[in-house]
Amino acid sequence: MKVYVMLGAPGAGKGTQATELSARLGLPHVASGDLFRQALRDGTRLGLEARQYMDRGALVPDDLTIRTIGERLTQADAARGVILDGFPRTRHQAEALDDFLARRGAEVGTALYVLVGETELLRRLSGRLQCEAGHTYQETSRPPQQPGLCDIDGLPLFHRQDDDVETIRARLSQQLAPMTEVVSYYRDRGTLATVNGEAETALVTDSLMRAIADHASVPASTA
């Protein structure tokens, strides 16, 4: 099982890059935020509970999040591996993921940290558009070919409810510190690769693919 973890602040481009890596590596893209939004659309208890936190930019509690990801990772299409996007977001989640994988004789391959400064994050998030399948666009710098429609699946595009300026600020202020801890967690284990997320989208993808290849060529004991 090959598990890649995408790390980065909200708006760093994790989703865009995870979609691309998923196509190139032939592994499913599993985004915790998408799972919560889907649960909300389905009107499940999980969705309604997660919403209380998402609406104010807070993190959904670890136990709920870990359970949700655990269920997704036991589905058949995840048997070969996944690209995780938005999970883990706390140290506790990172430890739970390691335990989950260790029980299956697997481990995190590379933790890919997409680094973007705060000014750029605010600019990107406030103009972000996405479709229901989670494909994202940026109004000014990466617009869809046809206004209002996803290039990939033709679904209508919308602004996420938590992409208003106030919630964006709350998300950044509440989520950056735990994310930094997760970055340190993987750095300490020698599995972290950091790429400049402010470069052009295609260049960021190239850097990520190179990081994965470099990491794969280092013996596990020294990685």
In the bound complex, what is the minimum distance in angstroms from residue 79's beta carbon to ligand AMP? 22
User: Does 8 participate in binding ligand AMP (rule CB under 6 A)?
Assistant: no
CA distances from 106 to 1, 3, 48, 142, 222 (A): 6, 8, 32, 36, 17
Pairing outcome for strands 107-115 and 2-7: parallel
Place of tokens 């970055």: 183
User: Does 82 participate in binding ligand AMP (rule CB under 6 A)?
Assistant: no
> How would DSSP label each residue in 139-159?
TTTB--SSTTB-TTT-PBPB-
Q: Which of 194, 196, 211 has its CA nearest to residue 21?
A: 211
User: Does 29 participate in binding ligand AMP (rule CB under 6 A)?
Assistant: no
* Active-site entry in 2, 91, 160, 187: 160
Q: Is 160 a catalytic residue?
A: yes
| Count of residues touching ligand AMP (by CB under 6 A) | 18
Among positions 87, 113, 137, 185, the unique one binding ligand AMP when judged by CB under 6 A: 87
- 29, 19 Cβ separation under 8 angstroms: yes
- 108, 2 Cβ separation under 8 angstroms: no
Among positions 60, 73, 83, 195, the unique one binding ligand AMP when judged by CB under 6 A: 60
Residue 65 phi, psi (nearest 5): -70, -45
User: Does 110 participate in binding ligand AMP (rule CB under 6 A)?
Assistant: no
User: Does 10 participate in binding ligand AMP (rule CB under 6 A)?
Assistant: yes
* Active-site entry in 14, 37, 72, 124: 14
In the bound complex, what is the minimum distance in angstroms from residue 175's beta carbon to ligand AMP? 6
User: Does 191 participate in binding ligand AMP (rule CB under 6 A)?
Assistant: no
Active site positions, annotated: 14, 89, 128, 160, 171
Q: Which residues bind ligand AMP (CB under 6 A)?
A: 10, 32-33, 36, 53-54, 57-60, 65, 86-89, 93, 162, 171
